[in-house]
Structure 1
Amino acid sequence: MRLRNVSLLILFITSLVAGGCSKYQKLLKSQDYELWYTEAMAYYEKEDYTRASTLLSQLVNIYRGTERAEELNYVYANCLYGLNNDLSAGHYYREFVKNFPVSDKAEECMYMSAITYYNMSPKPRLDQTPTEQAIQEFQLFINMYPNSSRVEEATLLMDELRDKLVYKSYLNAKLYYDLGDYMGNNYMSAVIAAQNSLKDFPDTKYREELSFLILESKYIQAVKSVEEKKVDRLRDAIDEYYTFVNEFPEGKYKRRADKILSDSESMLEGYNKEEV
């Protein structure tokens, strides 16, 4: 009896699904665009974004330039976002702002455009073009709507994205450092990369890591230098030490920095004795 009841339940559910699919297929084959509109909105309200977006992809063209165009484009963008299609959703959000700039939905769509880029921002080791685009979009949103309730969140997300860019640049500098003498003087490249990061993002939370990388790279470069450049580079490393400890007197790299100073001064003292 229990197996029979289960079988009947499965049959009932299957018939419902089949009936629903049959109804949807008939709808797609029809030319009743008013019915398409009604059903698309119903699917959207039920968060059936797949079926809704299929209908809306046609309706946004059919009703272009009409009173329904604004609503259809807004709902279509939201459907694409609901399907996690950030690339297409972002495009339609930006098109909405462009085509309906005075709409009461324009603010939301501009913000969502930035959010789609934020969602596409990859891990720090990968190309950060979407991250840079997200920052630009958030900044544009803040400039356009400085009194928006979304400004605070936009600012926080921008800070998060900037930290990702800095970490990416730190990884680039660290890569040069790890390459060492392989096919050239990569320590100088590490110093330049880290200095550029600090110049572009002076308030980054990775400031201490970048600063110590500069110090350590300068020290190793000095140790590995040819004799005629070693003294000047040791002095440069010592100067960099004082710059570092002045900013991070109790930092997590203090002990390693002190060792660099001690070794640099010892080597420099040896060269001074030779000159005497």
Structure 2
Amino acid sequence: MKKLIFIFVLFSFTLSGCSDYQKLLKSTDNSLKYKKAVEYYNSEEYVKASTLFEELLPIYRGTSKAETISYYISYCSYGQGDYISAGYYFRNFLKTFPDSPYSEESLYMSAYCYYLESPNARLDQTPTASAIDAFQLYINRYPNSTRIPKCNDYIDELQDKLVFKSYLSAKGYFDREHYPSAIIALQNSLKDYPGSSYREDLMFMLLDSKYELAYKSVVSKKRERYNNAKEEYYSFVDEYPKSKHLKQAEKMMEDIESYLGKFNTNN
């Protein structure tokens, strides 16, 4: 019985709260709406706060209060976990109020929202690249900020994701034995990320791709492509003389030399 009474009282309070909020929405007392919106925000009732702030923004547009309302709206979306909208609002805030005392924080939060949007490395990395650019912009604009170390950590993390994405893309062509596409993708990955932690594997796959392409080519293209593979072998062993792939690379080189040895070097 006590449990039923408790549920009834709780339900009554809920209805009362909803009724008060509905009355507030219909109110023409903008000062009260603003006050209650801030209270809802501080209580982390972001949906209610956001609805009220959105109603108040056009009313206070052109006044000093519009800046604060826009700031709150950005954080309401962030508080709801809607990082796409939050990032949009933070960027729009920067455009609308470039000299605001909240500008630095808004630029950082814009970058951080991109960071939170950054997906698994196997998916499209547009938000990842946008986050890197935004963090770099923040670093350039506020070089003495206490957030700089954190920004650099985020950039390193995001760069690693782009490197891994590039590696996965190139490896995908290699695994499917699409060797012409693999060669292009592997070369691009090595060019774009020369310090990649996957460099050894990428270079070996490039050698293997050129070798397999030569092996499977028509006779008229074999000699040229085996020579290309030979050059790749020397590049690989020069950089990784103790590679875990060395035995496989040497076996390829034996086959390459065996084929090219059929030709008179004077021809």
The within-5 A match list for 1:172-211 is 172-180=169-177, 186-211=178-203
| Greater alpha carbon shift after TM alignment, 197-206 vs 70-79 | 197-206
Residue equivalent to 2:239: 247
Contiguous gaps of at least 5 residues in structure 2: none
Measure the CA separation in 2 of the matches of 1:72 and 1:226: 69
Measure the CA separation in 1 of the matches of 2:160 and 2:188: 14
Residue equivalent to 1:125: 122
Measure the CA separation in 1 of the matches of 2:39 and 2:246: 63
Residue equivalent to 1:183: none
Measure the CA separation in 1 of the matches of 2:248 and 2:66: 64
TM-score, normalised to structure 1's length?
A: 0.88
Q: 1:134 aligns with which of 131, 135, 141?
A: 131
Measure the CA separation in 1 of the matches of 2:68 and 2:197: 43
Are residues 1:75 and 2:72 paired?
Answer: yes
The amino acid that maps onto 1:86 is Y
Measure the CA separation in 2 of the matches of 1:255 and 1:16: 76
Q: 1:45 aligns with which of 23, 37, 42?
A: 42
Measure the CA separation in 2 of the matches of 1:8 and 1:251: 74
Aligned-pair distance for 1:192? 1.4
Summarize the Cα distance change of 1:252–1:119 in structure 2 as closer, same or farther, 3 Å threshold: farther
Measure the CA separation in 2 of the matches of 1:201 and 1:212: 16
Q: 1:164 aligns with which of 155, 161, 166?
A: 161
Superposed CA offset, 1:162-191 (max 9, x none): 2322332323322332343xxxxx312211
Aligned-pair distance for 1:272? 4.5
The amino acid that maps onto 2:255 is D
Q: Identity across aligned pairs (percent)?
A: 50
Residue equivalent to 2:227: 235
Measure the CA separation in 2 of the matches of 1:253 and 1:18: 70
Measure the CA separation in 1 of the matches of 2:219 and 2:5: 90
Contact 2:183–2:209, Cα closer than 8 Å, also in 1:
yes
The amino acid that maps onto 2:201 is E
Superposed CA offset, 1:99-157 (max 9, x none): 22222221111011111122222223322222222222122112111222222222222
Are residues 1:259 and 2:251 paired?
Answer: yes
Measure the CA separation in 1 of the matches of 2:61 and 2:172: 52
Measure the CA separation in 1 of the matches of 2:20 and 2:240: 69
Measure the CA separation in 2 of the matches of 1:252 and 1:40: 63
Contact 2:170–2:189, Cα closer than 8 Å, also in 1:
no
The amino acid that maps onto 2:28 is Q
Contact 2:230–2:253, Cα closer than 8 Å, also in 1:
yes
Measure the CA separation in 2 of the matches of 1:39 and 1:138: 34
Summarize the Cα distance change of 1:20–1:215 in structure 2 as closer, same or farther, 3 Å threshold: same
Measure the CA separation in 2 of the matches of 1:122 and 1:179: 24
Q: 1:12 aligns with which of 6, 9, 12?
A: 9
Are residues 1:23 and 2:16 paired?
Answer: no
Residue equivalent to 1:268: 260
Residue equivalent to 1:212: 204
The amino acid that maps onto 1:257 is A
SS in 2 for 1:216: helix
Number of residue pairs matched? 267
SS in 2 for 1:137: helix
TM-score, normalised to structure 2's length?
A: 0.90
Residue equivalent to 1:105: 102
Summarize the Cα distance change of 1:256–1:160 in structure 2 as closer, same or farther, 3 Å threshold: farther
Summarize the Cα distance change of 1:174–1:32 in structure 2 as closer, same or farther, 3 Å threshold: same
Summarize the Cα distance change of 1:67–1:243 in structure 2 as closer, same or farther, 3 Å threshold: same
Aligned-pair distance for 1:78? 0.7
